[in-house]
């Protein structure tokens, strides 16, 4: 059997349980959650797979952007509650239960270096909704809907969405969303500022690819540095502090690289820049 080839320096990590990877555009990877019979619910093994993919994305110099979507009628229904129930019965030690596993919600709590775009093809519930809240851009199908139904199951949305929602939609909307457990439409999420675009279902991935291409054509160093500045500002309330951290870390490294020189030279010469691999 021949070894598959990839448009990357390093092959992606194995994803036998949950994910399918493809490369729809230069410097872009499409990560598809592929457990449609279970509404793309995430087992612990699936979460480990996803954690490995995001680690690989940040280290892979030939990738700048990822897109995540789902197969079937769901983006993701969140954690596999059947497995969670079984872990509650099997493990008396709370630290070993599913909700406390190290990879739990590997995207909703991810900081990372490179942007991830959510292409929400259907329902995004629980942990699936928490994924969306932490993505850098979101494209949603017209019939997609979102919810944090954890309160209905005696648990809580503890994968990072609650404090992030406050920063995006405010205290009162976040409280209504999380405490009532009601479903919210794609259009309402657009009005709240969580979703960038609402499109027909058959266009959700292609629109996400267009956004990814619009990002990936730029300097890999500048993408990482700009995202870091945005994230610092989102994660903290101190604007000047966020600027200083980015200046001292990502921007300092950006200035040591070839891409800043190439970008400025290309502008002066009125041509398209030829970017090098990122050193950040």
Active-site positions read 79, 127, 130, 150
Strands 28-33 vs 19-25: parallel, antiparallel or unpaired: antiparallel
The answer to whether 119 and 128 have CB atoms below 8 angstroms apart is no
197: left (phi over 0), alpha (psi -120 to 50) or beta: beta
Distances (CA, A) of 252 to 8, 231, 248, 260: 26, 17, 6, 11
């Amino acid at each position: 059997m021949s070894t598959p080839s990839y448009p990357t320096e390093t092959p992606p990590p194995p994803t036998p349980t949950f994910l399918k990877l493809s490369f729809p555009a230069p410097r872009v990877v499409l990560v598809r959650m592929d457990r449609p019979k279970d509404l793309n619910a995430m087992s612990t093994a699936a979460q480990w797979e996803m954690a490995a993919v995001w680690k690989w994305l940040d280290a892979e110099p030939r990738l700048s952007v990822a897109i995540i979507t789902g197969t079937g009628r769901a983006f993701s229904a969140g954690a596999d509650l059947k497995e969670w129930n079984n872990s509650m019965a099997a493990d008396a030690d709370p630290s070993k239960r599913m909700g406390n596993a190290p990879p739990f919600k590997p995207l909703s709590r991810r900081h990372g270096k490179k942007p991830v775009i959510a292409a929400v093809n259907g329902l995004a519930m629980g942990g699936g909704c928490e994924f969306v809240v932490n993505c850098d851009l979101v494209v949603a199908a017209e019939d997609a809907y979102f919810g944090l139904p954890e309160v209905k199951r005696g648990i809580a949305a503890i994968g990072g969405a609650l404090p992030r929602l406050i920063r995006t939609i405010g205290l009162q909307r976040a409280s209504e969303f999380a405490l009532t457990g009601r479903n919210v439409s794609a259009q309402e999420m657009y009005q709240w500022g969580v979703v960038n675009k609402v499109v027909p279902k058959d266009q959700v991935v292609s629109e996400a690819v267009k956004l990814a291409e619009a990002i990936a054509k730029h300097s890999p160093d500048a993408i990482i540095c700009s995202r870091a500045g945005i994230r610092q500002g989102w994660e903290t309330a101190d604007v000047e502090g966020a600027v200083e951290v980015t200046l001292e870390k990502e921007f300092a490294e950006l200035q040591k690289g070839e891409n800043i020189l190439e970008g400025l030279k290309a502008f002066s010469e009125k041509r398209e820049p030829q970017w090098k691999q990122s050193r950040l």
